[in-house]
Amino acid sequence: MANILISLLLTTLSIHLIASVGAVYNIVDFGAKSDGQTDSANALLSAWNAACQSTSPATIYVPNGKFLVGHATFTGPCANNKINVQIYGTFVAPSNYANFGSVGEWIVFDKVVGLSVYGGTLDGSGSGLWACKASGGSCPDGTTSMTFRNSKDVLISGLTSLNSELYHIVIYYCDGVTVQSVKINAPGNSPNTDGIHVEESNGVTITGASIQTGDDCVSIGPGTTNLWIELVSCGPGHGISIGSLGKGYNERGVQNVTVKTTVFTGSENGLRIKTWGRPSDAFVQGVVFEHSVMQNVQNPIIIDQNYCPDNKGCPDQSSGVKISQVTYTDIHGSSASKVAVKFDCSPTNPCSGIELQNIKLTYSGAQPAEASCTHASGTTAGFIIPPSCFKLLLELSCYITLPTHMVFITHYIDGVKRRKNDNQKLYTYTLIVDLTENLETNRRTYII
């Protein structure tokens, strides 16, 4: 009885919410069929046109049932800035991958402001294409399930995406997008089925997502700024990845990214930055990874600046992507490989300003986990397991009296080290020598 009352209450609440946003356009009234066989794309487009032309807030209502939908692009700008797409049913993609796999994008929202997509399921019917690719046959690239492009103030909430041929959700050239409480599922061996891809976008928030797929759970492309990722579970999959970057020379950088409170289970990677080994003016700066749990993850922490999938057509050059100011805090759990922390950085643009704090990663094998550094430098704090691979530094200090407004410091590339005695107005002049190469580092002047 209680369940019935709750169900009635939720139904009443849903009807109230739909009615409260103005006109409601039921796709069935525009000819959509919930038989899973009749293409309802035109009915959806007709409902969209009506909602988009409305001068007051509008809702597109998708009832329960399976609706076969071919390619559909919903284009703005609209006459109002509040369109809700309320989905209770399932959109099913055509199963003929030979044709549908060449479309590129399945459901697209373009140039829309104030869009909200609630609930529903997308079934991308990707198994046929995956089998084709696995056989080595001649196959189309595949089609992304849902794309948001050139849009602003978008909410995607409670959506489930299954078996996309290619990427599940793509956010491209958008500003102010929130993705919350989504579920994404595809087999671990399904190729290029990234869960959520963000590129050339600002102010995107991803929270409360459960992602199981065959590629990156979240991939972060060039031109991404002010991205917040929180409460995400990943696995199977290739982790949460910044990149790949540097495939082209004139790429914009990635900056101000926060990834926190995440769980990785059996994934190929955990927290990853990947760049191609070729010249580029791209960069990665101001990244925070914190509060992550690794459960039997192949590469829990990795920066790979020689990225080349399957080792085919590798450029074999030095990556021009500059990586700096990356912080890892409270990362713990188990690694499926001996090297739990790997920083493989560019020889011409070494990774700098990496911070490790309270890291505890254990190897499931008989030997302890290890860390590996190539052309990377940084600092550590708290407990660090496995021990840091940053180069050993020697500090030789002497006290000298200087004017109170100036201090001269010679420092290594991993940061400034300064000590001050206020009572004696003394400063520390620190000479830091790299014991590996026995070279004195550059001298700089700092005004304080």
* pLDDT 10s digits, 154-168: 999 999 999 999 999
Amino acid symbol at 76: G
Higher pLDDT among residues 169 and 248, named by residue: 169
Whether the pLDDT of residue 342 is over 60: the answer is yes
Q: What is the pLDDT of residue 2?
A: 41
**HSE-CB for 220 with a 13 A CA cutoff:** 31
Mean pLDDT of 7-18: 42
What would the mean pLDDT of 305-326 be, rounded to a whole number? 94
Confidence of residue 392 (pLDDT cuts 50, 70, 90): low
- pLDDT above 60 for 232: yes
Question: pLDDT (tens digit, 9 = 90+) per residue, 85-126?
Answer: 999 999 999 999 999 999 999 999 999 999 999 999 999 999
Confidence band, pLDDT 50/70/90 cuts, at residue 410: very low
pLDDT (average), residues 353-364 = 96
Q: What pLDDT, on the 0 to 100 scale, is given for residue 3?
A: 43
Question: What gap in Å lies between CA 48 and CA 224, rounded to an integer?
Answer: 29
What are the pLDDT digits (tens) for 365-380?
778 999 999 999 999 9
Whether the per-residue pLDDT at 437 is higher than 60: the answer is no
pLDDT for position 19: 41
Instruction: Tell the residue number behind the tokens 């994934």, with chain if given.
Output: 267
71-85 per-position pLDDT tens digit: 999 999 999 999 999
Query: Which residues lie below 8 Å from residue 439, measured CB to CB, with a gap of 6+?
Result: 433
Query: CA-CA distance, 338 to 340, in Å (whole number)?
Result: 6
Is residue 306 within 8 A of residue 345, CB to CB? The reply is no
User: Span 163-187, mean pLDDT?
Assistant: 99
Is 215 among the catalytic positions? yes
This prediction has a pTM of: 0.85
Q: Which is nearest to 86 in space by CA: 125, 53, 57?
A: 57
pLDDT surpassing 90 at residue 184: yes
Judge if the upstream peptide bond of residue 236 is cis by omega within 30 degrees of 0: yes
Alpha carbon distance 140, 101 (integer Å):
5
Residues paired with 297 in a beta bridge = 335
pLDDT for res 367: 84
Overall average pLDDT of the 156-183 stretch: 99
Inter-residue contact 327 to 351 (CB < 8 Å): no
Q: Which of 168, 197, 216, 238 is catalytic?
A: 238
pLDDT band at 55 (very low <50, low <70, confident <90, very high): very high
Catalytic residue among 215, 216, 304, 344: 215
Residue 18 has pLDDT above 90, yes or no: no
What is residue 154's three-state secondary structure? strand
SS3 content of the chain, % helix, strand, coil (to 5): 10, 50, 40
Q: Of 265-274, 331-340, 384-393, which range is least confident?
A: 384-393
Residue extent(s) of CATH 2.160.20.10 domains in the chain = 23-332
For residue 287, is pLDDT > 60? yes
CA distance 175 to 212: 26
Question: For residue 444, what pLDDT is reported?
Answer: 34
| Structure-model confidence comparison of residues 22 and 185, the more confident one | 185
Q: What is the mean pLDDT of the chain?
A: 87
Query: If pLDDT is split at 50, 70 and 90, which confidence band does 219 have?
Result: very high
- pLDDT at 246 (0 to 100): 96
Q: What is the mean predicted confidence (pLDDT) over 3-17?
A: 41
Task: Report which of residues 151 and 5 the model is more confident about.
Answer: 151
Give the max Cα distance, the chain.
Answer: 85
Among 89, 93, 167, CA closest to 125: 93
Quick one: tokens of 312? Answer: 């085919």
- pLDDT of 21: 52
Q: What is the pLDDT of residue 22?
A: 86
Q: Which residue has the higher pLDDT, 429 or 158?
A: 158
pLDDT at position 417 is: 39
Topology of domain 23-332, per CATH? Pectate Lyase C-like (2.160.20)
